Structure 1
């Protein structure tokens, strides 16, 4: 079993597919759309399934999660406080020193270009921290 493969024996990508299908409402549609944007922004992204059912996207470290709640789909960026957000996408978890999140509600528009830029910035931050660690 690999680190990102859960005990259920299914690959994380399959578990995420199943989550999207089981939601069968706007949240599943939104999670699927956000997932597609993550993959477009970073074709080398690694999908994981953590914390008893949370889709996670990583590349050189955790990029973001895709949590689903009754009224929102929350995209939490692990190092969001360190990212520039010129489009003002972050609208949740603003009080902390590390994470930042975007809450998407039913009917919300997604600024795809800005979100992909944020994802790419998170990957670049992960890669810069990884390269600094290698140079120490």
Structure 2
């Protein structure tokens, strides 16, 4: 219990740093690269740590989450179904009415320009105050 309460006192940014370091492989490097792109796209982005260990980036509402699994780093956009994706980089969770995701596998290249556009579009959607059909 002491360790858990000590972790709760750490800043979300430090917890994300720790996750990247603990992964110690391509997933950590990918999560770090994605995180840097998010921060470059929006220097005012807020980093959060939710659901017992998921990095979350927000600005006027949730933008996206960065989940890590054995074979994939998944970047899930909370309102992805409402975003224009002209570069077609969404490749996961395509069937839902709200979220969309990008699954990155080992060796994948990140389309930095397209990802930056999606991040900025998600922020613009949040700032517009447009609500999705579900509560966040």
Q: Give the C-alpha shift of residue 42 in structure 1.
A: 0.5
1: CA distance between counterparts of 2:112 and 2:8?
33
Q: Give the C-alpha shift of residue 8 in structure 1.
A: 1.8
State the match for 2:26 in structure 1.
Answer: 26
State the match for 2:83 in structure 1.
Answer: 83
Write the mapping of 1:1-136 to structure 2, written as runs, cut at 5 A. 8-129=8-129
2: CA distance between counterparts of 1:17 and 1:92?
25
1: CA distance between counterparts of 2:97 and 2:42?
25
**Gaps spanning 5+ residues in structure 1: where?**
1-5, 131-136
Which consecutive aligned stretches of 4+ in structure 1 deviate over 6 angstroms post-superposition?
none
| C-alpha RMSD of matched pairs (Å) | 1.2
Deviation string, structure 1 residues 52-102 (Cα, Å, up to 9, x no partner): 000000000000000000000000000000000000010000000000000
Q: Give the C-alpha shift of residue 120 in structure 1.
A: 0.2
Partner SS for 1:10 = coil
Q: Give the C-alpha shift of residue 14 in structure 1.
A: 0.1
> TM-score under structure 2 normalisation?
0.90
**Gaps spanning 5+ residues in structure 2: where?**
1-5, 131-136
Partner SS for 1:98 = coil
2: CA distance between counterparts of 1:47 and 1:86?
27
> TM-score under structure 1 normalisation?
0.90
How many residues align structurally?
125
2: CA distance between counterparts of 1:129 and 1:99?
17
